[in-house]
A and B are shown apart, each in its own frame.
Chain A
Amino acid sequence: MRVPLKGLTLSVAAALALIACGKQEPPKQAAAPAAPAPAAAPAPAAKPEITVKIGHSAPLTGPQGHLGKDNENGARLAIEEANAKGLEIGGSKVKFELLGEDDQADPKQGTLVAQKLVDAKVNGVIGHLNSGTTIPASKIYFDSGIPQVSPSATNPKYTLQGFKTAFRVMANDVQQGKVLGDYAVHKLNAKKIAIIDDRTAYGQGVADEVEKAVKASGGQVVTREFTNDKATDFNAILTKVKSKKPDLVFYGGMDAQAGPLAKQMKGLGVPAKLLMADGGCTTEFHKLAADAAEGNYCSLPGVPLDKMPGGTDFKNRYKAKFNADIQLYAPYVFDAVGVMIDAMKRADSVEPAKYLPELAKTDGYPGVTAKIQFDDKGDIKDGAITLYQAKAGKWDPLDTMGGTPVAAAAAEKK
């Protein structure tokens, strides 16, 4: 057989292109709109009913599909509960409708989805899940004047662009990184710290902040290693990490990598614990790391769900509705929807231009995760951060730092 060079070169080029831009999948059709909640009694009076479209975007396919679905479930629950209440805004009955989109955690797909939501004339957007998709999409929402509340994009850049439409209900990486770096050096007594990240806007962002905080606290960063958000083999970088004899390894990235990473650390005999930010703080981590999960640490903005006034109740409602456990961000998504609807109520309007100022003024909204108040950039004010340690297959809360108003609010309600 002659080796057809032309075809081969073409194939190599195709392969390189595929590697360069990640797996391209066809844009999936919008998920079916949420079934209208049956509990909303049909209004007998001839009151006009308006439909309010809430856009939602997260990766529903690909390596982070499990997290994205969890987010969408959080939004669905919030919207169905709001519909069940039968709200009236501006004199008409309001029915909320969820437009769920799949951005594949891909920045390019994120902007396409954003444009699609804008074209569908959504009244507000909840999302996206990843910082990498949220930041480029935020410009599109800003240009169209559509308020956006991200439940989980923690890269500081998101709210530093001067877009008055951009909000988030989770402490950003500067806040989280500071706490993590400080905690590692002072409480965990780690002097030599190795840092690994997945080179995404989120992973790199939080790792940079942790590095700064570690150095500021007098710790030493012995090595910085990198992987990507689709990797499964970390033996090479971990072997290098091991040779630097760190006291602690920080990983900036998501659970799908963090789990196998913890496992391979154990396999190679790296004598250090793993510290992660919110991306690794999932139930999935325990499954993936199995017996290597024990003793590792992670942080999550907010106070533990069980300690929040409505936390346990939320967990049960979620379980009853979807017959699944909460993965990670669902409570934050639930709050993001809640904050948006609350602003509509206060403004007595579902028009983006009218309720946006009220959204910015949100002060003390009693969410599931925290008492929510935005600062002038759209970041959550005084967000608490809780550190957890893996014990017997669960994340066990160790310490809650900062966020006095939040903790106080939680205490008040008890």
Chain B
Amino acid sequence: MSGASDRRRAPPQAGAAGADRPRAARSQTHLWVAQRVTAMVLAVAVAVHLVTIILAVRGGLSAGEILGRTRGSEAWLAFYCLFALAAGLHGAIGLRAIAAETLGLRGRGADLAWLAIGLLTAAFGIRAAIGLYA
């Protein structure tokens, strides 16, 4: 989600402008890598999710049909947990980029808040995945 904006942003300047420039540059690099790694996981997971949705809605959805597929299945549990973690982090990093560009919301405090939001979102997803498994 932050691809175009990240490429557009000027690289951090070295020198006396600020002591935490290297930290900011490192942070940008980590976020860029995290966004791309989660994107690659999501590329597969979203494709599987879309195909599953389209197949599942044929003839109508039922709780028995959904739970029959997921209950006791470690493979679906692992898939949905990884999917939720990647989606939670990917969404939070994307929202962070939009908030930084449009609202000027930046800094270490904001970054920690976005990390918390991403992990909390993922935790809700993992709770739902456990509900489908148990």
A binds B: no
Residues of B within 8 A of A (CB): none
Residues of A within 8 A of B (CB): none
